[in-house]
Structure 1
C-alpha cells in the first residue's frame, strides 16, 4: 500500500506552501526529489526564494539539517570532514563534516571551484564519504538541495557534467506574481516565517515512503516511451552528449515519485512528459558548447524533441 506515501506527500506540500507562496510546481519538484531519494538543483537569479524553498523542505522533516555556504575559499574537507590528531589518545580520529545530515542545503554551489564541488560526488551517488581509505556512511534519508545562480553571473563556475548527472531535477523559481509579492511583503516583514515552520514527518516516515514509491506501477509501454525520449537525446543533431543510463534511471524514479504526489499508484504519460525537461535538461550537452549552455535554450530543444516522440495510447 502507498497510503503512507500519499499522506506524507500531501503533508510536505501543504507545509512548504505555507512559506513558499505561489510556487506549487517548485514545491512539487522538491517533494518529488525527497520521495525519490535523490537530489534537486534550484537555478535562478539571486533573491527569488531558492534558499527559502530549500530551508522549508528541511524544516518540514524531523531530521538533521546542514547548510553549506559555498565560497571560493571553501575546501573539500570543510564539507566531508577530516582526520584530527588527538593528543590524549595519540591517535587520529575522524571528525565528521556538515555533510553528515539528512538534508543538505548547498547554497550557491557554483561559487566554489570545481574541486570543492566534486567533494559532494561520492556522497550524492553512494550515500557515503571516503577519508584516508576509510568509508563513512551518511545518515538516511539523505538529500542535497543545491542552489546556484546562472553561470554567467560574476564569480560563478559551471558545475562539472559528472556532478550535474547526480541531480534528479533542475528547476527554477521565477519571479512571483504581483499579488503573491504583496503577500510576501506582509508575511515576511516581521522576520522569516520559515524559521518557525514545524516539522510534519520524521526520517523513518520518509524512509518508508521512499521504499513505497519504488512499488508504483510503471507500464511497459511507458517504460518504452521513457527510453524513446532518452534515446532521442542521444540521436539528436543538436546534442553532442545525450542522457546517460544513470539519468534514465533517475528519470524513471522521478516519474514514480510524481505519481505519488498526484495521489496515484501508477505512472501516466503526463508524469513522463512533466518530468522530461527538468530531469534531462542538465544531462545533455548542446553541440558546440563546452563551458555550459543557456538553460532556456536547452529546455526549448528538449521540449521540441518531446513533441516528436510518439506517446503510447
Structure 2
C-alpha cells in the first residue's frame, strides 16, 4: 500500500533560486504603485490649484465693484457679477489701440526672431568654420548680460537714427535673440546630417537646405520659440516704457499702467477687466501650441 501511495503522490517541486536559469522575480505589488500614483496626482492637483489661484482671483475681481475687490475678508465669489466692467474698460480707455499696437509688435518680433534665430542656428549646427564653437559660446553667453547694463547706449543709438518713439524701435531691439539660436541649434543637431549631405549632392544650396529641409523638420522647436517670444514681447513693459512716449503707440502694459490714476481713485474692478482681456490671447496661444511646445522643449536637448 505504501509503495502504491509513493507512486501516486507527485514529488514536491523544488523552489528555484535567483541563480538558476529561467528564474523570474515576482512583480512589485500593485497596491504600492497605486498609492504612489495617487500621491503624485494629489501633489500635482495641489500645485496646479496654487498656480491657478491668482488667475481665478483676477477673473473674479474683474466681475466685482470697486469696493469689493480688496474687501476683508476676501470674497472669492462676488455677490453680484458686474459684467459692465468689461464694457466700461472699452469706453473709458483706448484699449483697442493698445491691443492693436501690442499685436503688431508681438507678431513682428516673433516672426523676426524665428527667422533670424533658425537661420543663425543652422550656420552654427551645419556650417563648419574656424572658431565656430567659441563664437557660439560667446553669443550664447550674452544671455547672462542684463539688458539694463546697455539699454542707455542702445537708446542713444536708436534716437540718433530717428527710431525713438516708433514701433520700429521695439521691433529692431528684439529682432535677434541668443536664446532662440541656442534652442534651434540644439534641435537641428537631432536631425541626421545625411539629409543635408544628400541635398547637397542633389545641388541644393545651403539656403535651400535650411528652408526646405531643416525648417519643416523643426516645427516643434519653431513653435516653442514662437510661443516663448510672443509671450515675452506681449508682457514686455520696460522696453515700451523707454521708447514709446506717444499715447497712440502705447501697448497693453503701458496703457493699463497709466489707467491707474491713483491708489484711491482707480476703479480696480474695471482695471482687472482690462488685465483679463490682456491675458486671453496668451492663454489661447498656449492652449493651441501646447503639444508643439512640450515636444520642442523635450527634444531640443537630445542628440542623435
Larger proportion of strand: 1
Task: Give TM-score scaled by structure 2 length.
Answer: 0.25
Structure whose alpha-carbon radius of gyration is higher: 2
With a CA cutoff of 8 Å and minimum separation of 6, indicate the structure with the bigger relative contact order: 2
Larger proportion of helix: 2
